[in-house]
Structure 1
Amino acid sequence: MSGLSFDLLVIGDANPDVVVGPVTGIEFGQREQLVEHGRLVLGGSAAIMACGAARLGLRVAFAGRVGDDPAGAFVRQALAARGVDVGHLVVDPQLPTPLTAIVTAGDGDRAILTSPGCLAATGPEDVPAELLAAARHVHSASFFLMPRLASLLADVFAEARAHGATTSLDTNDDPAGRWDRALLEPVLKVTDVLLPNAAEARALSGEAQLADAATALARHGPTVVVKDGARGALACEGTRLLRTGAVPVEPVDAVGAGDSFDAGFVAARLRGLGLHTSLALAVACGSLSTRDHGGTAAQPTWEQACAVADPKGTR
């Protein structure tokens, strides 16, 4: 690998998640409600993806920002314990670590409440040039939560590509609901793989039909890989469309499943696998990750994902 230190550099958000539920509704008025489960776990789309990729055997580094507080120490320790290099994780001396509360419903849906803390301060200066030069692939997540980084992410990706790396992006949700295409389009031109879920693909493209949404986004340059929940996934490469069904599991918690999907797809592509097989392995990783609470507890190994992936089932 020509002396490269990492298979994957992940850029983005990392925070503690407090996951509670299931509930059928939230009651205000100082009413106390009891729930079946409550967990303090590692959260943040980028952090969960990084852990999933490390679990799959990749050498992973993380670039981002946390606060100088117990929550930041928790994030650093949790990433490192899962094999992710945190040597370049910036500690903000003034702003706190982001915090997220996730309230789950019995039907698999969830509400996500995030205090952004130092996310808005995260910028391209938090991604050292030596890391961009040392990675085979660069992935960024939670695009709309980090406006300073988003405005210059095209430059970051272009630099990574100049060093020979490939790139991927999972925008995640836009809490403001603007889905700023003018901000995103320059990034798509230097993105090899775009990894939205179905709702995000529709919002980013303005297309109601999922195949049309994927095709429209692919016109900007990237291979578009769309996570479609219990229906599996859809990929669009140029004008070529592929679909695959979900892996049957008894889900416990879907938090972070899309991020584990991202890890599976990137790991498969870095192993030189084709689009059909990579899509099947990504679905396997996302599905298997739902077997326990939180985003990282049930992330599969490469061998576990391969054992349940069915590339013959893609079409």
Structure 2
Amino acid sequence: MQHTFDLLVIGDVNPDIVIGPLDTPPAFGQREQLVDTGLLTLGGSGAIMACGAARLGLKVAFAGRVGDDEAGRFVRSALTARGVDTEALRVDPVLPTPLTVVVTRADGDRAILTSPGTLSAGGPEDVPETLLTRSRHVHAASYFLLPRLAEALPELLATARACGATTSLDTNDDPAGTWAPGAGGIAATLAVTDFLLPNAQEALALARATAPADEAAGSAGTLDAAAAVLAAHGPRVVVKNGADGALLHDGATLLRTPGIPARPLDTVGAGDSFDAGFVAALLRGLPLPDALEFAAACGALSTRAHGGTPAQPTWDEARTAVARNGKNS
């Protein structure tokens, strides 16, 4: 089948307001606190991943939903400016575009406050079948923020695979903290997911939620054990672990990369840039160990500036960082 796009991203998009660092708790009582930096930029795990992939040279389409408001027009313009096709970015006539405020700390941690807006309404009708059937790879993001879409993901991803696409999923965090859909819905999604891309905290939580009752306690012990539990559901599991690099479990073999040394200015979106790098490397035909190393470089390089997209690397920049790291190791 003739492919129109290298990558279709299904997920969330919103403006991010990134401020910080703030090393004391936010002060209520109408107190004003000053921080060093503030930035209005493109946000949403799906959107940042799409932009990272386009920056790496892929032809990318995005499917999602925004409101009929200034925030929606801002994110559409930002995606288009970064080379992402937005024909499938639907406008909701009632609900507003989501909005996220990210408060950073000097130690790299951050608090994330999101007004969900259209996220609760996004569903399978937002994903044109022509994009599913004519994309080489389909990536879904923010599973727990998009409940209607999450319910439909098994069928959507199965359709893409039936037409020759590979698939990936980055669930991101569960704001409810229960990971409750994991016991049912997400297992069906994992069965049609080629690559699951959680961070370390998410991998542990997902493993506890999806492991058989007699294995749940053990699955919470180490990342290696959690990755094995998740791989048993079908996908190859790629776990992002910050400065400690990343690992990949294919159900039998465990691969690791120490990652690229970095002095991060801002880690917002680094995991999404990692996802973009991993998918781009796969579609370029790199073997899994090299794809893992390349993805880690993309994640590290994205931390050179504030916000998720401004410092995302090109293909040549990431390859140069990998080569330089190899010479120095």
TM-score normalised to the size of structure 2?
A: 0.93
Query: Secondary structure, in 3 states, of the residue corresponding to 2:237?
Result: strand
Secondary structure of 2:189 counterpart = helix
Residue of structure 2 aligned with 1:184, choices 174, 186, 199: 186
Q: Any residues of structure 2 matched to 1:209-224 within 5 Å, and which?
A: 209-224=222-237
Q: How does 1:238-249 map onto structure 2 within 5 Å?
A: 238-249=251-262
Kindly state the Cα deviation for residue 312 of structure 1 after the two structures are TM-superposed: 6.1
For 2:141 and 2:97, how far apart are their aligned partners in 1? 17
Match of 1:309 among 282, 306, 322: 322
SS at match of 1:86: strand
Which residue of structure 1 lines up, in the alignment, with residue 248 of structure 2? 235
Instruction: Report the alpha carbon displacement of residue 239 of structure 1 after superposing the two structures with TM.
Output: 1.5
SS at match of 2:64: strand
The reply to whether residue 201 of structure 1 matches residue 203 of structure 2 is: yes
Provide structure 1 residue ranges, at least 5 long, that are not aligned to the other structure: none
Structure 2 match to 1:256: 269
| Distance in 2, Cα, partners of 1:298 & 1:50 | 14
Whole-angstrom distance in 1 between the partners of 2:259 and 2:194:
24
CA distance in 2, matches of 1:274, 1:125: 35
Distance in 1, matches of 2:206 and 2:88, equals 31
Alignment correspondent of 2:13: 14
> Structure 2: which amino acid aligns with 1:210?
L
Residue type of the alignment partner of 2:80: A
Alpha-carbon distance between aligned partners in 1 of 2:227 and 2:51, rounded to the nearest angstrom: 27
1 CA distance for matches of 2:227 and 2:322?
A: 23
| Distance in 2 separating the partners of 1:248 and 1:209 | 23
TM superposition shift of 1:208: 2.3
What letter corresponds to residue 17 of structure 1 in structure 2? D
AA aligned opposite 2:4 = S
**Is 1:266 equivalent to 2:279 in the alignment?**
yes
Q: 1:29-59: per-residue Cα shift (whole Å, max 9, x none)?
A: 1110000000000000000000000000000
Secondary structure of 1:239's counterpart equals coil
Report SS of the residue matched to 1:52: helix
Please identify runs of 4+ aligned residues in structure 1 that moved more than 2 A.
310-313
| Partner residue, 1:285 | 298
| CA–CA separation in structure 2 for the residues paired with 1:274 and 1:178 | 36
Identity percentage over the alignment?
A: 65
The residue aligned with 1:35 is: 35
Mapped partners of 1:222, 1:305: distance in 2: 26
Please tell me the root mean square deviation across aligned C-alpha atoms, in Å. Answer: 1.1
Which runs of structure 2 are paired with 1:130-145 in the superposition (5 Å)?
Answer: 130-145=130-145
Aligned to 1:127: 127
Q: Deviations over 1:150-197 (max 9, x none)?
A: 011000000111111110000000001111221210000000000000
Q: Where does residue 3 of structure 1 map in the other structure?
A: 2
- Paired with 1:312 and 1:75, the residues of 2 have a C-alpha distance of 37
Counterpart-to-counterpart distance in 1, 2:318 and 2:236: 22
Larger deviation, residues 247-256 vs 275-284: 247-256
Instruction: Provide the C-alpha distance between the structure 2 equivalents of 1:167 and 1:280, rounded to a whole number of angstroms.
Output: 20
Measured in 2, the distance between the counterparts of 1:108 and 1:151 equals 33
Long gaps (5+) in structure 2: 209-219
Matches within 5 A, 1:56-95: 56-95=56-95
**Which residue of 2 is the match for residue 109 of structure 1?**
109
Work out the CA distance in 1 between the residues paired with 2:206 and 2:252.
18
Q: Following TM superposition, by how much is the alpha carbon of 1:250 offset from its aligned partner in structure 2, in angstroms?
A: 1.8
Partner Cα separation in structure 2 for residue 312 and residue 193 of structure 1: 25
Aligned AA (1:152):
A
Partners of 2:281 and 2:88 in 1: CA distance? 26
Letter in 2 for 1:264: G
Separation in 1 of the partners of 2:322 and 2:152?
Answer: 37
